Amino acid sequence: MRDPERIERIELIPVHVPFRKAVREAMARGEGGLGMAIPAEEEWLGGDFVIVRLVARNGVEGVGEAFVWLPETGVSPAQIIDAVAGGLGRILLGESPFAVERLRARMDANVARSEVAKGLLDMACYDLMGKLSGRPACDFMGGRAAETLPLTALVPLSETRSMTELAVAFHRAGARSLRIKLGRGAEADREIVAHLREALGAPVRLRVDFNQAYTADEAVAAIATIAPFGIDCAEQPVRADDWLGMARVQRAVTVPLLAHEGCFTLTDFVALTELGAVGVLGVNTERPGGLTQALRAIDYAARRGMGTVLHNQPLGIASAAQVHLGAARATVLGHAMELFGHVMLEDDLVTDALDCSGWSVRVPTGPGLGVTLDDDALSRYATGPPTLLAR
C-alpha cells in the first residue's frame, strides 16, 4: 500500500508583488534610488518570488516561498523554477517530507549549488510535515522557545534629517532595534549615526548595513568612526566576493561583521568564520538554503560564541517560516529579528497575516507554518502560469 503522506505533486508559481506607494517614493528619494549604497542599476519596484506547493497523496498541501532580487540573489524566478523542474523536483516526488536530512543530502549530491531553489523546497517540507501531523513547524526544529520575538526596524539611506525622523517614529511605535543603511563615506556615516544615537538614546540597539559600499581600508575607517556610538554589527562593508577583505576589516575593528550578499551556503559561513571575517551570522529563508541548513548554521554560530541576525523582506509564507526558525532558536539568537515585508509590500499573499503589533511578532500556533496561501491574491500577482510536476 502506498504511503498517503508521500509527495505526489509539485506546483511552482512565479510572482511579483509591488512595494507600497509610500515605500517606492521613499526609496526614490534615497541613495541611488534604492535607499542603500549597493551599486545596482536594477530598478527595485517590488519583490519577485516563487511560490511552491507540495501536495501529498492524501491531498494535504505544504507551501514555501523564495524571494529573489538579481543584484543580491543572482537568480531569477525562472531559474529557480527550472532548477526544480529540471532536477530537484524528481528527488522530492515520491518521498516523505519528514526526511528533510535525506532530501537535503540527495539534493546536494545531484544538483550543484542552487541553494535558493533547495531552500524553497525545504521550507515547504516543514509546512507539509506540520500540516500532516497537526503540529507547528517549530516542533520539527527543536520546539518553541518563545511565544513572541522582538522586531527590528529598517531605516533606508537618505538625508540625515529624514533618517532621524523615521528612526524616531519607529522608536515611538515600539521598535527597540534598528538597522541603518550607510555607505556614503566615513564622515557622512558618522554624522548619521551620531544624530540617530542622540535622538534615540542609549537603550536602542543599532546595527548598520553598508551594502558593499567600501574597499577594505575605507570600511575600517568608516566603522572606526561609528564604533563609539555602540553598534551591534556591521553588515557587508566590502564587495560580496572579497572574503579576504572582510577578514582584514574584522581584524582591524571591534564591531562584529555580518556577511549577507557574500554568504549563501553553510560552507560559506564556516569558511568566513575560519578566516576570522565575521562575528555574527546573517540568515534569511534563502540563505543558507532553507530551514534545515539555517538550523545547522545557527547552531554552529552558537558553538563559536556568535549570535544570529534573522532578516528579510518576504511575503507571509517565508515570514512565518522565519518566525518559526526564530522561535526554535530564540535562546541563542542574541539579536532582534527583522521582518519588513509586511511594511514594504502591498500584499503578503496569506489569508491570516502575522501579528506584528508593537514591533514584536507572535509565533503562529496553527499546524505547519501556521499561515494559509491566499489563492485569489496569488492569481492577481502571478507573472506566469504554474509549472506542475507529478509522479
Query: Read out DSSP for 69-93?
Result: -HHHH---HHHHHHHIIIIIHHHHT
Q: What is the pLDDT of residues 251-308, one digit of tens each?
A: 999 999 999 999 999 999 999 999 999 999 999 988 899 999 999 999 999 999 999 9
Please give the model's pTM, rounded to 2 decimal places.
0.96
Residue 1, pLDDT > 60, answer no
CA 327 to CA 44: how far, in whole Å? 31
3-state helix, strand, coil in the chain (%, to 5): 45, 20, 35
Residue 36, pLDDT > 90, answer no
CA 172 to CA 381: how far, in whole Å? 34
Mean pLDDT of all residues in 103-128: 97
End-to-end CA distance of the chain: 16
Residue 145, pLDDT > 50, answer yes
Closest CA to 75 of 117, 131, 12, 136: 117
Cβ-based neighbour number of residue 265 at 10 Å? 17
Contact 264/230 with Cβ under 8 angstroms? Answer: no
Residue with cell 508559481: 13
Residue 51, phi then psi, degrees to nearest 5: -105, 135
Q: What is the pLDDT of residues 164-212, one digit of tens each?
A: 999 999 999 999 999 999 999 999 999 999 999 999 998 999 999 999 9
Residue 115 makes CB contacts below 8 A (sequence gap 6+) with 264, 265, 286, 287, 288, 289, 290, 293
The CATH classification number of 141-362 equals 3.20.20.120
Contact 188/221 with Cβ under 8 angstroms? Answer: no
**Does an H or E element contain 148, and which?**
strand 148-150
Dihedral sign computed on CA atoms, order 11, 16, 22, 24: positive
Q: What pLDDT does 28 receive?
A: 77
Residue ranges of the domains in the chain?
A: 7-137+373-390, 141-362
Average confidence score pLDDT of the chain? 95
Tell me which of 57-61, 71-75, 325-329, 376-380 is least confident.
Answer: 71-75
Tell me which of 34-38, 108-112, 258-262 is least confident.
Answer: 34-38
Say which CATH topology domain 7-137+373-390 has. Answer: Enolase-like; domain 1 (3.30.390)
Dihedral sign computed on CA atoms, order 172, 177, 179, 184: positive
54's torsion region: left (phi>0), alpha (psi -120 to 50) or beta? beta
Confidence class for position 2, pLDDT limits 50, 70, 90: low
Residue 358 makes CB contacts below 8 A (sequence gap 6+) with 173, 174
- Which cell goes with 184? 556614503
In three-state secondary structure terms, 98 is: coil
